[in-house]
A and B are shown apart, each in its own frame.
Chain A
Amino acid sequence: MVAMTSIHAHIAVVEDDAPVRRALVRVLVSAGFTVSAYGSAEEFVALTDDPSPDCLLLDLHLPRMSGLELQDRMRRVRRDVPIVFITADLDIARSDALRHRGVLCLTKPIDEQTLMEAISRVTSHAPSGEA
Chain B
Amino acid sequence: MRIAGLLTLAACLVTVPSREAIAAYTRADASPGTSGGLSVCLSLHPIDLASGNLPVLPHGAGKEWAARALHQQQPSGSVGAQPADAETQAGLLSRYRWAIEGVVGLIVIQAGVIGWLLVERRLRQRAQQSLDDALRFERTFGQVAGLLAAGPASERAVHDALQRVAQYFDAEHAAVSEPATADRPFHLAAEYVAPGSTPLALDAERRRLPEVAAILDSGGTWGGDKGAPVGKPGTTSGNIGALMASPLRAAGQTGGALIASSVNPHPDWTREHERRLDAFGEVFANVLALRRARLILHEHEAFNRAVMGAHGGEVAVFDQSGTVVAVNEAWQRAADREHGVLADAQPGTSYAGGSKARPGQRPASMVSAIASVLNGGPPVAQADVEWDVPQGRTWCEVRVRRLERPEGGAVVSHMDITARKRADLQVQQHLHEMAHLNMVSAVGELAASVAHELNQPLAAVLSNAQALRRLMNSPSADPQLMREILEDVIAQNQRAGDVIQRMRRLLKKEKGDWQGVDLNQLVRDVAHMFQGEATLGGVPVMIDLAPSLPPVQGDRVQLQQVILNLLQNATHAVLAATIRDGGRVLVSTTLDVNGVAVRVRDAGPGIATDLLDRVFDPFFTTKRQGLGLGLAISRSIVELHGGHIVARNLPAGGAEFSFTIPVEAVSA
Binding site for B on A (CB under 8 A): 17, 19-20, 22-24, 26-27, 29-31, 63, 88-92, 107-112, 130-131
Contacts and interface: CB of A to CB of B under 8 A. Distances in A.
B452 to A, nearest CB: 5
14 contacts: A19-B457, A19-B460, A19-B488, A19-B491, A22-B464, A24-B463, A26-B481, A27-B464, A27-B467, A89-B448, A89-B534, A92-B534, A108-B455, A130-B470
Given A23-B461, A88-B451, A109-B461, 12 more contacts: A19-B456, A22-B460, A23-B460, A23-B464, A24-B459, A26-B463, A26-B464, A27-B467, A30-B474, A90-B451, A108-B456, A111-B462
Contacts of A22: 460, 464, 488
Contacts of B461: 23, 109
Interface in B458-485: 458-464, 466-468, 470-471, 473-474, 481, 485
Given A19-B491, A89-B448, A89-B452, A112 B457 contact: no
Contacts of B451: 88-90
Interface residues of B, number: 29
A89 B463 CA distance: 17
B348 interface: no
A111 B466 contact: yes
Contact of B485 (A26, A107, A131): A26
Contacts of B473: 130
B463 A109 contact: yes
A26 B463 CA distance: 8
Q: Which 7 A-B pairs have the closest CB atoms?
A: A108-B459, A23-B463, A26-B467, A88-B455, A30-B470, A109-B459, A109-B462
Contacts, number: 86
B565 interface: no
B456 A112 contact: no
B194 to A, nearest CB: 110
B532 interface: yes
Interface of B: 448, 451-453, 455-464, 466-468, 470-471, 473-474, 481, 485, 488, 491-492, 495, 532, 534
A91 B455 CA distance: 13
Contacts of B471: 30
A24 to B, nearest CB: 5
A111 B461 CA distance: 11
B470 A108 contact: no
B458 A108 contact: yes
A88 B451 CA distance: 8
A108 B463 CA distance: 10
Tell which of A26, A29, A89 has the most Cβ of chain B within 10 Å: A26
A109 B470 contact: no
Contacts of B455: 88-89, 107-109
A88 B473 CA distance: 29
A17 B333 CA distance: 77
A23 B488 contact: yes
B456 A20 contact: yes
Contacts of A108: 455-456, 458-459
Contacts of A29: 467
Contact of A112 (B452, B463, B474): B463
Contacts of A90: 451
A110 to B, nearest CB: 6
A63 B533 CA distance: 11
B467 A91 contact: no
B534 A30 contact: no
A110 B462 contact: yes
A88 B468 CA distance: 22
B470 A31 contact: yes
Contacts of A23: 459-464, 467, 485, 488, 492
A85 to B, nearest CB: 14
A18 B134 CA distance: 131
B456 A88 contact: yes
Nearest to A24: B463
Contacts of B534: 89, 91-92
